[in-house]
Structure 1
Amino acid sequence: MTRVRDWLRSQNLPTGARAPSERQIVEGVGLSRPTVRKVLRQLEAEGWLQAVSPRVRTTTEWCRAVYNSNSNNIAVVTRVVDAQINPAQRQWMLNRMVSGIARAAAERELNSLLLNPAATVPDTVARFTRDPPRGALFLWDAEQTPLGMLPLVQELARRGLPLVVQPDTVPASRIEGLACDQVRSDHCSGCRELTQWLIRRGKRRMLRLWSLPARPEDQPIWSVERHRGHEAACAEAGIEPLPVIWVPHVPMIWEEEGFRTSCRVNAGFLIEPLKQGIDAILVPSEEHVFIAAGACRLLGLEPQRDVLIVGYDHFWETAATRRFEPSVPPATVDKQEERIAAEMLVLLLARCSGKLPPEPQQRLVAPRLVETATPS
């Protein structure tokens, strides 16, 4: 069906035009006439074609391509410039992605154009239809819209636009709905290596102090994979992993009032685990390192001496919460955003050129463990 669908799109027929005959399609795609007839019936059922008579069909809007294989433009779907959605430190992470895509595109004499996913799906599709790009790259923050990225991804994929998605923030329960090519950091191996680093330093009671806007059952895929990696490292070392401590999310932690409030909330959840003798803390991201450290101080502990607190994402130097806490994480994980960006573009161009099988492809980019300071 994909071959017939793509061939029909390549004809650039306007909506309502008479579709090519069965014979023309057989010659165009190299399939047998019975196979073409079966596919055409399926396309009619899906609304791609409308039957006027047994031998005549007309095209619907679905036959109109929303991409241009000759275009030099690659759409990058991101909210990187939206400060309300992405505070300074997260803009910094996204900037690494955007600059990586721009650099890789320029090397191939292509343009990268930013597109805000906050617009409604019909408006965004209309934009693509008016000026079709060669393909589109969805960065992880495109999920931060009222409906998430899934409706727009599905609509554009159905219309034939080549897509590559970085699905890190998509809830694990919805990841199968992204039936398109994907690239993301290997969060499982990243957290496994970080946990092994702690174990080599004699840490065996490692607490995952987890504060996310989402409920535990709605965890994004990166969180699910991070827990899997931690538990795998523990199992390899014969350690029973401690249960995850889910801490209520406090908004605006990059402002001092939000930071102090979050420290107090986290301290309340640390009282019992500390009584049981934890020796290390893992947190979702770098800004939480400084919150966990502040919480430890409220309980009379010296962070990074009495208990190690490791980071993730490797932006601790620019994290907005750092200005409230002097200690720094002894180790973190760099997700390699620029490599992810370059791999997304490579995969997209491979899809555009027909070098990939029809099934969606997935690429994992190996992260890098970074030692940032000598632990006490």
Structure 2
Amino acid sequence: MDETLPVIVVGGGFAGVKTATQLGRKGIDVLLIDKNNYHQFQPLLYQVATAQIGVSEVARPFRAIFRRSNRVRVVTAEVTAIDPAGRSVTTSDGATYRARILVLAAGAVPNFFDTPGAEEFAHPLYSVIDAVSLGANLTSLLDHADKETAGDVNIVVIGGGPTGVETAGAIAENVKFVLPSYFSSGLAARCHVYLVDMVPTVLNAFSEKSQSYARKRLVKVGVRLQLGVGVTEVSADAVTLADGTVLPSRIVVWAGGLKAGAVLASSGLAHGRGGRIDVQPDLTARDFEGVYVLGDAANMTDTTGAHLPQLGSVAQQSGKWAARNIHADLTGGKREPFRYFDKGYMAMIGRGAAVAEIGRKRVQIQGPLAFAAWLGVHAALLSGGRQKIGALISWIEDFVSHERSQVIVGPPE
């Protein structure tokens, strides 16, 4: 394509969608490029994998999001090369697109930290496809295990951050409350969920009070904690720990961290922690005028210089702020440094149980109140009305009856 577009946004996650939406409202033409034709709500993928909500609650087509905007055009294609100096991208079908402003919000990929066997045998949980694959394998495992008369059925979750804690808690609740209703009475007693992390606690970014509550709640629901020891190898039927412990496993879930994708690694942009791109206070890339990097692809800081976490709220706010700066770029205005409004942290540990540390002062709540806050915040963040209503109905049904009415379709790996 010879035409130079006003703005290209690579990636349709929280940051990319927010940037495109805000610019479209300001009357600026935007080309959004993503390998999928839908936006996915990553914080709830573990609930798709455990049949608490359906795919339609976490995935919304881009064309539905932008159907009322004649300023945002969507191209479904995978970006395979980035030229920050020329502010252009090339896609897998050989097309090249150039723009005055290039926004890179391509997200991240699972970081297996070169752990032998992890990429081959562990299930990541970063996309809808990952969630459906994990769900199909969990369902298949339980169907087959129900035919057995003996033998443990171990599921190992690696990573004690919010994703690992929420996933382990959800699977353990299924084992404790759902299996006795759907399978023979003996299966639940043979199923065990392990949570493994190299640090000696869960939810490392949270306070000690929140960590203590999370550990107690996980143990109460049946999760077996293996903390303070790293993973040295993942095989088809076991996880080996640094102290020599071998955990036999039927399924392994990897929630051990993220890193920037290969297309960013080869872009020529300055890399920092996690392979992500270090950005300036105004969210632009160093040494490349007119290039912004947002969301999980970027290492962003607040006004004090502190690094910001890879959270949906950070990504959304950076997208909105970037749109303001881009509008200034295109209209002769002045960019401003990103000012992040800290909403705090949350993690659900199971039915009626969560931890929340709200705001910059980290007001701490646990239990049912935190659970209600978690539900409200995540419902508000979901993209569309259909998604919000569907999730709320599923959550109410789960809270009242532990019913799992969602169907996971797909062959196990």
| Structure with bigger RCO (C-alpha 8 Å, 6+ apart) | 2
More strand by share: 2
User: Please, what TM-score do these two structures have when normalized by structure 1?
Assistant: 0.25
More helix by share: 1
